[in-house]
Amino acid sequence: MSGMALRSPAPAAFEAAAGRTADGALAGLRWAAARDLRLALRSRAELGVQLLFYVIVVALFPLSMTPERNLLATMGPGVLWVAALLASLLSLPRLFATDHADGTLEQIALSPYPLEALVAGKVLAHWLTTGLPVALLAPLLALQYYLDAGSVAVLVAGLLLGTPILSLLGAVGAALTLGLRGGGGSLLALLILPLYVPVLIFGAGAVDAARAGLGATANLSLLGAGLALALVGTPFAAAAAVRIALD
């Protein structure tokens, strides 16, 4: 056996460790976000595939009809938003599933940090790797739909406000369907897509309103309010769902 002794803490150290419980919600959030981002960067190819899915879905719609300029400009916001919904949905099953499969999720749930904060950190990483790229890519894809600069600005603003809601709500669904037969895709879609409806309506509606000269402020404000509500509520629901899935 190795003679190198591990520094053994004195018995009193146990008490110190027990006293240092989870005051650090922020530390937990940072841990989860940093770890998931690091893991995502180690498998960049998967991120690329998700974005390509978004690009391809958006490019398919004009092929299914006469690519007439006005028609495409009318449909564009909706198509871009539906594709964003699908791209978010596609990446959601893995949000908790890999951690569940390798045992990390148990350690996450047993961490002294609040589980809500750890879940929020994972959602933040999910949004940074799926929602944000989708929003940043949208102006490029909007060219295919002949959207004018003003509409594109509103579209991107809407996506920046709306895609975090998709990640937050999606986390609840992903946690609820953890480890279930067929839980990966279709069940998650059934649970989550109906809840995505308001985001789709306000997001695509913002661009429509801007194009109609009505101003997008109301729609964007509602998206912002929805984001605030989702930020407050969904981490608790997702954390509860994770605990239920582990039980």
Q: Which is nearer to other proteins, 26 or 56 (CB)?
A: 26
Backbone angles phi, psi at 24, to 5 degrees: -95, 75
Residue 180's H or E segment, with its range, is none
Distances (CA, A) of 210 to 148, 202, 234, 246: 10, 12, 30, 46
Residue type, 15: E
Report, in Å, the least distance between residue 26 CB and other proteins: 13
Question: Residue 11, interface with other proteins (CB under 8 A)?
Answer: yes
Question: Residue 246, interface with other proteins (CB under 8 A)?
Answer: yes
Residue choice 141, 205, 207, 211 for contact with other proteins (CB under 8 A): 205
- Restricting to residues 106-145, which ones interact with other proteins according to CB under 8 A? 106-113, 115
Report, in Å, the least distance between residue 95 CB and other proteins: 15
Residue matched to tokens 């994770």: 242
For residues 103 and 178, give the distance between their C-alpha atoms in angstroms, rounded to a whole number. 13
Question: Residue 31, interface with other proteins (CB under 8 A)?
Answer: yes
For residues 141 and 79, give the distance between their C-alpha atoms in angstroms, rounded to a whole number. 10
Closest by CA to 62, choosing from 137, 126, 147, is 147
Q: Length of the chain in residues, anyone?
A: 247
- Restricting to residues 218-237, which ones interact with other proteins according to CB under 8 A? 222, 226, 229, 233-234, 237
Question: Residue 17, interface with other proteins (CB under 8 A)?
Answer: yes
End-to-end CA distance of the chain: 38
Residue choice 176, 216, 220, 227 for contact with other proteins (CB under 8 A): 176
- Mask for 41-60, x = binds other proteins (CB under 8 A): -xx-----------------
Question: Residue 209, interface with other proteins (CB under 8 A)?
Answer: yes
Question: Residue 4, interface with other proteins (CB under 8 A)?
Answer: yes
